Structures are given as C-alpha cells and as structure tokens.
Amino acid sequence: MNDAQRNHYDVLVIGGGPAGTTIASLLAEKGRSVCLLEKAHHPRFHIGESLLPMNLPILEKLGVLDQVDAIGMKKYAAEFNSTDTLLAQDTFYFAKAANPNHPFAYQVRRSEFDELLFKNCQQKGVTAIEGMTVTDTELEGSVKKIQARDDQGEPHEFSARYLIDASGRDTVLAQQLNSKQKNPKHKMAAIYGHFNSVERRTGNDTGNISIYWFQHGWIWLIPLKDGATSIGCVCWPDYLKTRNTPLAEFLQHTLELVPEIRERMKYAQLDGEAQATGNYSYQSNIMSGDGFLLIGDAYAFVDPVFSSGVYLAMQSAMRGADLVDQLLENNTPHKYLISQFENSVSAEIKAFCWFIYRFNSPALHKLLMSSDEAAQHPVKQKLKSAVISVLAGDAYNNPEIRLPLRAFKFLYLINKLAEFKKNHAFNRFRKQQNQAQ
Ligand SMILES: Cc1cc2nc3c(=O)[nH]c(=O)nc-3n(C[C@H](O)[C@H](O)[C@H](O)COP(=O)(O)OP(=O)(O)OC[C@H]3O[C@@H](n4cnc5c(N)ncnc54)[C@H](O)[C@@H]3O)c2cc1C
C-alpha cells in the first residue's frame, strides 16, 4: 500500500484557519472522514482580529462560543471618525441593526482564536496535521491527490474524493489553476502592529473598533482582551511609495498624522514587529470544479474595512460543508447545488463590496456621518439600521433591509451629484491609484 492509499479520506482540506477548520469540523460531524493539512503550528500570528455579530451563530454551531467568549473582548459597535465632515464621530451599535438578536461580536487574538478552532476540529474527529505544507495537487480523475512536505522536508502523499482549498492568501489552487485575478476596482495595502498602553473608550464601548478616515486612507484600532491594541493603516499606493524609513517608524509616523490617534497613543509602545500586506484585493475566477472547492481567502479577499473576512470565510465554509456532503452522498456533481452555493458566496461578498469601493468617497462619509436633526427622522433611522445590518454581517440573509439599503444607495447617488466636483475628483484619484504599479 502506498502513501496516498494509506492516507485516503472522503475530504482533504488545505489550511487550518477559520475557513478550513470550520468546513472540516462540520463535515466530520456529518460522518465524513476528513484530513486537514496546515503548514504552520498553532498558535501562530494572523491578522484579522475583529469579528462580526453574525459570526456568533456559526461559533455556536461549532460549539466554541464559550471558548471564544473566554478569549474575546466584546465589541458592541463600530465607531467611525472623520475630520472631513461636520460630525467628527458616529458610533454604530449592533443592537440597532434590523435583527437585534446579536447585539455584539468579539475582538480576538487570532493566534488564540485559530488555535481553539483547530483543536475543536481535532476533537470532532478530523485528522488535522500541523507543519505539513501542501506543495502540489492533482485534480484529474475521481481521486484527488495532494503532495506535501513536513517540517523536516520529508514528502507525503494524501488522497481524497473531494479537495477543499482553504489556504487563505496563499491561494494554493487559484495559483495552480492560474485563476487568481487582482481586483481592478480596489488597490490599497496595509501596515500594522500590536501596541501596548493605547487609550481605550470606556464602559460598554471599551471593546469597540475605532475607524479613522485620514488623507491617505483609513486606520483601525482594535482593542484586545489582554490589553494590547491592534492598529493598522490601510493606505493608497502613492502614499506607501513615499516610505524611506523602516516599517515601524513609517507606521508610527502615519499614525501621528491623526491628532486623536496621536493623543490615544501618547504612552503607546509597539509590541513585536510592524508588518505589511500589499495588494490584498483579489478573486479567483474559479470557485469550484469537479471534486474541488475554494473557500474563504483562498477564493477571494476584498478589504478589511468592515471586518468581514473571517465571517465570509466561515460562512462560505458552513455552506460548503452542506454542499460537499450532498455531493459525496449523490456521487455526482449536482449543477444546481453548486450554482446555488457559488451564487450565495458571490452575493455575500458583493453586499460588502458596494460599501468597500465607496468607503473613502466624500459622498459616503457625509451619508454615514450625518448628524443633523434630519438624521433622527424615523426613515433615516431605518436606513442607518440597514447599514448597521451590513456592518453586522447580515446584508445578504436579511430581506428586511433590502429596500432601505436601496434607498440608502439612492441617497448616496444624490449626495454624489450634489457635490459633483468633489466626488468626481475623488473618483479620478481612486482610478489613478488602482492603475498604479
Ligand atoms: C490587513 C488585514 C486586516 C484584516 N482585518 C480583519 C478583521 O479585522 N476582521 C476580519 O474578519 N478579517 C480581517 N482580515 C481578513 C482575514 O484575515 C481573513 O479574511 C481570514 O483570516 C480568512 O480566513 P481563511 O481561513 O480563509 O484564511 P487564513 O486565516 O489565512 O488561513 C489559511 C491557513 O492556510 C494555511 N496554509 C497556507 N498555505 C498552505 C499550504 N500550502 N499548505 C498547508 N497550509 C497552508 C495558512 O498557514 C493558514 O493557517 C484582514 C485582512 C488583512 C489583510
């Protein structure tokens, strides 16, 4: 018996992040034999610490909600700050979303979060192996094969009836299939780090994410339970090209451009190294094929501004588990089920994209931050509640918000036309940045 025959499973999963561990756990619960290969060893660093309220039902389904509660910081709202509009700050409380049943989410250290998800899938019977890097895959035929190398460089072969790529930004299958496309509508990059002694909000607002618009993009502040704060700047390419100092210095300098952040960071110190992620928006033009599926960041990633990455990864994994289980049951590719899966994943991503592409535009700033008396009008409150539903991760599933969201988008258009010159100049700038090398 060779390696591939010995290591044969119903399902092979590449990657042990939120997407991979979720799909592996759920398929194991359905009685499938599942093997998951992770190149790193948990706990390992990962960026992406702010979860959405709609993550909670998924965590509950996985049976890890109590564990996440133990390591997480409760986040009741997303706070937006702008120096560009009349109102400098507005806080969007999740309790005011159209579905008020999930009034908070969590901020988590990903090393801890991903480790508990990984252990959970092992407890559910998944053969989850760390320190095993997938180097090649064979997609032809009914048995899919994977070549991998362990930490000592020893080769291993695995095989399965179904292969799932959850390898995140490494995009193992999309690279192999040559299907990875840079997103032509969005080209920003991020620099970030963890800081100690950053001033926090008080009371129930302590765990809120703070987002600041500034002239070169936007900045996040995510408070973590152990006292550290994750801080990152998402910037236009032209600004990042001006860097002529070490990354940590450049990050510090960029943060100091915003007076309130400078104040909140008066006593702050960088804990560990500053990091950068360039050109992060991409999508594969293939989501599935005969006996394989791409989920989470292995399929697409747009932008972290609405903290949607982990939610989208786990949601696509949850839907993917149902799909793969049914396909394995029937033993034939079922076109309807596959297109239903693909449409739902694309629609969820699209729901965030509308806001992401316009996030830095003056028209959206004005709409999101409008504080005048008219903002208290019940109709405007309804629109705000729809926007909060998007921020909570409930954009796709909640039919109640479709109409208010359409009205919001219409208002956006009117705002854009009302200040045509300003918005047109911004659009020109954005296009030029998207074309930058
Ligand atoms: C700057 C930035 C900030 C972000 N902030 C947020 C945020 O606040 N909230 C949020 O929800 N999302 C955020 N995200 C997005 C979030 O990090 C991702 O969307 C999320 O981690 C996707 O989960 P995943 O399981 O698909 O991939 P990952 O979490 O990346 O997991 C993939 C796993 O696959 C493993 N792997 C890779 N290649 C191989 C291989 N060849 N063999 C074996 N294993 C392999 C990796 O080691 C990794 O453990 C942010 C992203 C960026 C770039």
- 135 and 246 assigned to the same domain: no
Mean pLDDT, range 16-22, rounded to an integer:
98
- Whole-number pLDDT of residue 144: 94
Please give the distance, rounded to the nearest whole angstrom, from the Cα atom of residue 46 to the centre of ligand 1: 7
Give domain status of residue 214, yes or no: yes
pLDDT in tens, 250-261: 999 999 999 999
Q: Is the CB of 217 under 6 A from ligand 1?
A: no
**Residues 430/364, Cβ–Cβ less than 8 Å:** no
Q: Is the CB of 48 under 6 A from ligand 1?
A: yes
Domain boundary among 335, 353, 371: 353
Say if residue 59's pLDDT is above 70.
Answer: yes
Domain boundary among 235, 253, 277: 277
- Whole-number pLDDT of residue 415: 80
- Provide the 10 A C-beta neighbour count for residue 328: 17
Q: Which of 164-178, 265-279, 343-357 has the highest mean pLDDT?
A: 164-178
**Residues 247/275, Cβ–Cβ less than 8 Å:** yes
Phi, psi dihedral angles at 257 (to 5 degrees) = -70, -20
Mean pLDDT, range 295-310, rounded to an integer:
92
Is the bond leading into 43 cis (omega within 30 degrees of zero)? yes
Higher pLDDT, 83 or 400: 400
Average pLDDT of the chain to the nearest whole number: 91
Higher pLDDT, 406 or 58: 58
Q: Provide the CATH number for the domain around residue 329.
A: 3.50.50.60
- Whole-number pLDDT of residue 382: 83
* Residue nearest (by alpha carbon) to ligand 1 atom 30: 168
Indicate which atom in ligand 1 lies nearest the CA of residue 18: 25
Domain boundary among 292, 325, 353: 353
Structure tokens at 399: 């039919």
Mean pLDDT, range 382-399, rounded to an integer:
85
Higher pLDDT, 341 or 376: 341
**Residues 279/187, Cβ–Cβ less than 8 Å:** yes
Say if residue 370's pLDDT is above 70.
Answer: no
SS3 206: coil
Domain region containing 221: 189-277
pLDDT in tens, 150-171: 999 999 999 999 999 999 999 9
Of 18-22, 192-196, 319-323, 415-419, the one with minimum mean pLDDT is 415-419
Say if residue 373's pLDDT is above 70.
Answer: no
Mean pLDDT, range 237-262, rounded to an integer:
94
Split at pLDDT 50, 70, 90, the class of 81 is: very high
* Residue nearest (by alpha carbon) to ligand 1 atom 6: 48
pLDDT in tens, 222-232: 999 999 999 99
**DSSP-derived secondary structure for 108-164:** --HHHHHHHHHHHHHHTT-EEESSEEEEEEE-SSSSEEEEEEETT--EEEEEEEEEE
- 240 and 292 assigned to the same domain: no
* Residue nearest (by alpha carbon) to ligand 1 atom 39: 167
Q: Is the CB of 39 under 6 A from ligand 1?
A: yes
Split at pLDDT 50, 70, 90, the class of 85 is: low
Q: In the chain, what is the straight-line distance between the N-terminal and C-terminal CA atoms, in Å?
A: 51
- 125 and 249 assigned to the same domain: no
Say if residue 380's pLDDT is above 60.
Answer: yes
pLDDT in tens, 401-417: 888 888 888 888 888 88
- 273 and 292 assigned to the same domain: no
Higher pLDDT, 236 or 359: 236
